Amino acid sequence: RMSEAPKKLESHEEVKSFIAGPGLSLVHFFAPWAPQCSQLNQVLVDLVDELKSSFEAAYLDAEEVAEASLAAKIKAAPTVVFYKNGREVDRLDGFKPAELRTLIVKHTTSGGGGAGAASGQSLNGRLKALINQQPLMLFMKGDPQTPRCGFSRTIVGMLNDSNVAFGSFDILSDDDVRQGLKEYSNWPTYPQLYLNGELLGGLDVVREEFKDAEFVASLPKRT
């Protein structure tokens, strides 16, 4: 076995650089006086070993590196915070090895698994395939039959009223797609409408475009 403990982070700067990558990084906010913290470090080492390094783990003394604990809003040790691209994607309080493993698997397999960059690339590949699934693709909350937000409902209504043929994807069903697409297209909100693999925009943009009869006529129609 490689080591008895994960890497120790000594400063807030070290924490920031450790969590910056696209892969899954776990930071264990640790207290030296709490026996379950030492046990949790051992669990992390075993999980890195078992899950073939699909994620990185490190720990820090929550009191020594108080700045990092404050930034992560840590209430008690042990707490494990999950990061991707420097942003928190999940957290687990307390000593819960089984839940810890489940969360790691969840965050490392949905994007295609593998090391950080690979899962980022495979997610982008997946997004590209989804965007090109049909000439006109709507990424929305819910589905066209049961939209889950007012903006999505409005845009579906506009498309239906114009008898436009479109595919849709429910971003609430897949958090990787929901977060990934915002970055992929540099557009922070939903719904998003794509034509031939290119982002048209959100509701306001589409509403403007739909005032142009020629544009609407150029869209794929239901047969």
Same domain as 55, residue 12: yes
Does residue 1 sit within a domain?
Answer: no
Mean pLDDT taken over the chain: 89
Q: Please report whether residue 116 resides in a domain.
A: no
> Of 49, 82, 109, which residue is a domain's last?
109
- pLDDT-based confidence at 110, cuts 50/70/90? low
SS in 3 state form for the chain? CCCCCCEECCCHHHHHHHCCCCCEEEEEEECCCCHHHHHHHHHHHHHHHHCCCCEEEEEEECCCCHHHHHHCCCCCCCEEEEEECCEEEEEEECCCHHHHHHHHHHHHHCCCCCCHHHHHHHHHHHHHHHHCCCCEEEEECECCCCECCHHHHHHHHHHHHCCECCEEEEHHHCHHHHHHHHHHHCCCCCCEEEECCEEEECHHHHHHHCCCHHHHHHCCECC
The whole domain housing 129 covers: 124-218
pTM of the predicted model as reported, rounded to 2 decimal places: 0.50
- Tell me, what CATH number does 190's domain have? 3.40.30.10
Which residue, of 109, 138, 171, is where some domain finishes? 109
Q: Are residues 90 and 147 in the same domain?
A: no
Tell me the per-residue pLDDT of 37-90, one tens digit each, with 9 for 90 and over: 999 999 999 888 888 767 899 999 999 999 999 999 999 999 999 999 999 999
Q: Say if 119 falls within a structural domain.
A: no
Structural domain ending residue among the three candidates 75, 109, 143: 109
pLDDT by residue (tens digit) across 113-157?
A: 344 444 555 788 889 889 988 999 999 999 999 999 999 999 999
Q: Do residue 94 and residue 129 come from a single domain?
A: no
